[in-house]
Amino acid sequence: MEIVLLQGSPNKKGSTNILVEEFTKGAEASGHNVLRFDVADMNIKPCSGCVACGYEGPCIQKDDNQKIRKAILNADMIVFATPLYYYGMTAQLKTVIDRFCAYNTSINRKHMKSALLTVAWNSDNWTFDALNSHYQTLVRYLDFQDCGSVLGRGCGSSAMTRYSDYPEMAYVLGKSLS
């Protein structure tokens, strides 16, 4: 299976990265190919709302999102990875998702698989409610098959994350994909 992993954290050595690396190890151990995009390091402009794409054509903006679009349209699965920023995903990841509007129908028609990897300092049981609701809405809207989530509560630092159960959970999620 071809997997596109959209890593939305601007901190490449942080807790999100730990989950991403473990998920990738698990997925690759099961024979899958993972193509990772660190979207915070890419030149991706926000959707301008011009609708020149007609919601299913090329975007008039020529930036790094063209690479992501091509990869997604050749993939079987999308993994969204983000730290929790004010109870949602990072702006960098949200910008990429907003640009899906230029190829929504193509994504929808593929019936892709998806997963969510996320971390937060907060460990309250409601910590991920808003982000999870947004993710589940994307799953429904884009007709994804949700393969699972790792919601890393209490992962405020890399050390906290490394010594938690969440890296192993990310590995097992990647390894369990069929």
Both tokens assigned to 20: 């991403």
- 78 DSSP assignment: E
Number of structural domains the chain divides into: 1
Structural domain span for residue 21: 2-175
Contacts of 131 (CB under 8 A, 6+ apart): 82, 84, 87, 88, 89, 116, 118
Taking the C-alpha atoms of residue 68 and residue 73, their distance in angstroms, rounded to an integer, is 9
Residue with tokens 């903006």: 61
**What pLDDT shows up at residue 74?**
98
Separation of first and last alpha carbons in the chain: 8
Tens-digit pLDDT profile for residues 23-56: 999 999 999 999 999 999 999 999 999 999 998 9
Residue 148 DSSP SS3:
strand
Tens-digit pLDDT profile for residues 37-46: 999 999 999 9
- Determine the distance from the C-alpha atom of residue 110 to the mean position of all C-alpha atoms in its chain, rounded to a whole number: 17
Which of 169, 148, 152, 170 is closest to 161 using CA atoms?
A: 152
Residue 99: CATH number of its domain = 3.40.50.360
**What pLDDT shows up at residue 143?**
97
